[in-house]
Structure 1
Amino acid sequence: MNGELSNGLAALGTSGNRIINSATGEPIMLRGVNRSGLEYAGPDEQGFLSGASLSRFEIEFIVREWRCNIIRLPFNQDFVLRGRLGRSGEEYQQAIDQVIYWASLFGAYTLLDLQWLDADRVYGGNRNFVAPLPNIESLELWTTLARRYQDEPAVLYDLFNEPHDRLDDDPFPLNKEDGTTYALDQMTVTMKEWQPWALKLIQAVRNESPDALVFVGGTNWAYDLHGMPMDVENLVYSTHVYPNKGRNWPEAFGNLSQSKPVFVGEFGGSDTPGDLEFVRALMRYTQELEIGWTAWSWSNEPFLVTRYIPTAFGETVRQGLSGA
Structure 2
Amino acid sequence: MKRRLVLIGLVVLIIVGGVVAYAGWINHNVNPPEVRETPQPVPPAGHAPGQDKGCGITRTGTGYTFSWLHVSSGFIMDDKNCIVTLKGFNWSQLEFGNGIGGSQKTRISEDALAWYNQTFQMNVWRIPLNATWWNQNVEVPLAGMRYQDWIQQVVKWSEENGNYVILTKGPQFADPPCGKGIKLCPTQNQGQKDIMHGTAGPEVQTTGRYIDPALTMWSSVARLYANDPAVLYDSWNEMQGIDDQTWWTNTNKLISAIRAENPHSLIFLGGPNFKGNVNALVQGTVPDFAQPDLVYDFHVYDGFKGAYQSKKCNSPLSYIWQDWPAHADEQVGFAQQHGKAVIFSEWGGCNDLDNYHQAIIDYARIHHVSLAYYDETNVAIRSNGTYQLTENGLKVQAAYATL
TM bracket, shorter-chain basis: 0.7 to 0.9
Query: Given the superposition, is the C-alpha separation of residues 86 and 59 from structure 1 closer, same or farther in structure 2, using an over 3 Å criterion?
Result: closer
Pair 1:115 & 2:170 matched: yes
Contact residue 119 and residue 397 of structure 2 kept, 8 A: no
The residue number in structure 2 matching 1:182 is none
Q: What RMSD, in angstroms, separates the aligned Cα atoms of the two structures?
A: 2.9
C-alpha separation between the residues in 2 aligned to 1:158 and 1:203? 13
Q: Which residue type is aligned with residue 344 of structure 2?
A: V
C-alpha separation between the residues in 2 aligned to 1:124 and 1:118? 9
Contact residue 98 and residue 140 of structure 2 kept, 8 A: no
Shift of 1:207: 0.7
**Normalising by the residue count of structure 2, what TM-score does the alignment of the two structures yield?**
0.65
The residue number in structure 2 matching 1:131 is 206
Superposition map of 1:132-211 within 5 A: 132-133=207-208, 134-165=210-241, 189-211=242-264
Count of residues in correspondence between the two structures: 286
Query: Given the superposition, is the C-alpha separation of residues 207 and 50 from structure 1 closer, same or farther in structure 2, using an over 3 Å criterion?
Result: farther
The residue number in structure 2 matching 1:236 is 295
The residue number in structure 2 matching 1:269 is 349
Q: Which aligned segments of 4 or more residues in structure 1 are displaced greater than 6 angstroms?
A: 47-52
Cα deviation per residue 1:76-100 (whole Å; 9 max; x = unaligned)?
A: 1111011345769x82111111122
The residue number in structure 2 matching 1:216 is 269
Shift of 1:49: 12
Contact residue 43 and residue 52 of structure 1 kept, 8 A: no
The residue number in structure 1 matching 2:336 is 257
Gaps of 5+ in 2: 1-62, 176-188, 195-203, 282-287, 303-316
Shift of 1:146: 0.5
Q: Which residue type is aligned with residue 107 of structure 1?
A: G
The residue number in structure 1 matching 2:392 is 313
Contact residue 110 and residue 155 of structure 1 kept, 8 A: yes
SS in 2 for 1:151: coil
The residue number in structure 2 matching 1:106 is 161
Match of 2:362 among 257, 260, 284: 284
Superposition map of 1:85-96 within 5 A: 91-96=146-151
C-alpha separation between the residues in 2 aligned to 1:206 and 1:155? 13
Q: Which residue type is aligned with residue 280 of structure 2?
A: G
Report which of the two structures shows the higher radius of gyration computed on alpha carbons: 2
Contact residue 109 and residue 155 of structure 1 kept, 8 A: yes
Match of 2:112 among 51, 55, 58: 58
* Structure with the larger RCO, 1 or 2 (CA within 8 Å, 6+ apart): 1
C-alpha separation between the residues in 2 aligned to 1:162 and 1:43? 20
Pair 1:32 & 2:107 matched: no
Query: Given the superposition, is the C-alpha separation of residues 48 and 123 from structure 1 closer, same or farther in structure 2, using an over 3 Å criterion?
Result: closer
The residue number in structure 2 matching 1:172 is none
Q: Which residue type is aligned with residue 116 of structure 2?
A: I
C-alpha separation between the residues in 1 aligned to 2:220 and 2:229? 16
The residue number in structure 1 matching 2:126 is 72
Pair 1:304 & 2:379 matched: yes
**Normalising by the residue count of structure 1, what TM-score does the alignment of the two structures yield?**
0.79
Percent identity over the alignment?
26
